[in-house]
Amino acid sequence: MMLVREILALLFFASAVVFGIGGVVGLFRFPDPYSRLQAGSLAGTTAVVSVFFGALLLAPNWAIAARIIVIIVFFLISAPTGAHIVARFTWNSGLDPWRPPLQKRSGPDEDTDETERPRRRR
């Protein structure tokens, strides 16, 4: 019969699947490395941490549970830092975040590409 632990672990795994699908779909639909980074770290960090918590509940003995806790702590340090480093380096390299092109309602329909937007001072 289903133990309480298994039901909770199932809950964690289900949330991991939801986060994972959201992240992976976002990885392909977003137009810009920055937004892809947000979707990616959503899938890569949140989903994996909930998998860890689910595995923590299913751990057969204490030796494994202790190791999983250490892994959770270290993963929570390394993954977001990695995502932050990528964002920082792309920002320093001058890549401008994506902005939707301006739609001009009145006036002749001149081209509304990025050039009208003031580029940020380097």
Partner 1 sequence: MTNLLLEGMQWVLVAFSVPTLVRLLLGPTAADRLVALNILSGLALGFLVLRGVQEGRALYLDVALVYDIFGFLGFLAIARFLKDRMTDESQGGEEE
Q: Looking at residues 19 to 38 of the shown chain, list those that interact with partner 1 (rule: CB under 8 A).
A: 20, 23-24, 27-28, 33, 36-37
Q: Which is nearer to partner 1, 60 or 100 (CB)?
A: 60
As to burial, measured by CB atoms within 10 angstroms (0-12 exposed, 13-18 middle, 19+ buried), residue 27 is: middle
Interacting positions 39-98 with partner 1 (CB under 8 A): 40-41, 43-45, 47-48, 51-52, 54-55, 58-61, 63-64, 67-68, 70-71, 74-75, 78-79, 81-83, 85-86, 89-90, 92-95
Q: How many residues bind partner 1 (CB under 8 A)?
A: 51
d(CA 37, CA 14) in angstroms, rounded, equals 23
Binding residues for partner 1, rule: CB under 8 A, are: 2, 6, 9-10, 13, 16-17, 20, 23-24, 27-28, 33, 36-37, 40-41, 43-45, 47-48, 51-52, 54-55, 58-61, 63-64, 67-68, 70-71, 74-75, 78-79, 81-83, 85-86, 89-90, 92-95
